């Protein structure tokens, strides 16, 4: 595996999983939140974001951590494997709220405190529907290995089993 996507709801643990995956594979890791958000949690223009994604996926080896549904198929067509963290919504909500309240993001200094508003919480709550559509789209990408993980225990087991083989 040389090009891997890690996607899932906010609060699913994408960054933690991706860091463990990068440590075990030696693949360079890019957290898409670091590439997407401008200081103050300002969104970039759509064409700017897509150009940045095209630059990132042009590399031969990578792990890209982040959902960003508008570009997931663009990334998937270049990836070999996509890891989908499909964790329970209450767990994702809890983790996202904890992260925001305690300012646990490593990029918080540059971006400012992570927004925690009803729109963001609704997005997490409704994410399982988004994820079902995403999975169907991802399964249509020829040659893409789609790995669905639904718990931290499954994620640990997958890392241990897959990367020790």
- List own/partner pairs for 111-120 with CB under 8 A and 24 or more apart: 111/37, 111/39, 111/40, 111/41, 112/39, 112/40, 112/41, 114/41, 115/41, 120/10, 120/96
Domain that holds residue 71: 3-164
Share of the chain above pLDDT 90, in %: 68
Q: Phi-psi region for residue 113, left (φ > 0), alpha (ψ -120 to 50) or beta?
A: beta
Contacts with 113 (C-beta within 8 Å, 6 or more apart), sequence order: 100, 103
The pTM of this model reads 0.88
Q: What is the pLDDT of residue 114?
A: 62
pLDDT in tens, 96-125: 888 877 765 554 445 555 667 888 899 999
CA distance 153 to 149: 9
Q: What is the CATH number of the domain that holds 131?
A: 3.40.50.300
Q: For residue range 45-104, what is the model confidence (pLDDT) as tens digits?
A: 889 999 999 999 999 999 999 988 889 999 999 999 999 999 999 999 999 888 877 765
H-helix or E-strand containing 57? Answer: helix 46-57
Phi first, then psi: give them for residue 3, nearest 5 degrees.
-135, 110
Query: For the chain, what is the domain count?
Result: 1
């Amino acid at each position: 595996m040389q090009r891997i996507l890690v996607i899932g709801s906010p609060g699913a643990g994408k960054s933690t999983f991706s860091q463990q995956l990068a440590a075990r594979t030696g693949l360079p890791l890019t957290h898409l939140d670091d590439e997407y958000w401008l200081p103050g949690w300002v969104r970039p223009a759509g064409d700017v974001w897509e150009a940045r994604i095209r630059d990132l996926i042009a590399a031969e080896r990578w792990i890209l951590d982040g959902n960003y549904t508008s570009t997931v198929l663009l990334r998937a067509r270049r990836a070999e494997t996509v890891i989908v963290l499909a964790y329970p919504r209450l767990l994702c909500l809890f983790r996202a709220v904890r992260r925001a309240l305690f300012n646990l993001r490593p990029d918080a200094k540059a971006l400012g405190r992570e927004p925690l508003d009803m729109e963001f919480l609704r997005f997490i709550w409704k994410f399982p529907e988004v994820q079902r559509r995403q999975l169907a789209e991802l399964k249509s990408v020829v040659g893409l290995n789609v790995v669905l993980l639904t718990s931290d225990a499954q994620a640990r087991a997958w890392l241990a089993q897959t990367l020790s083989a």
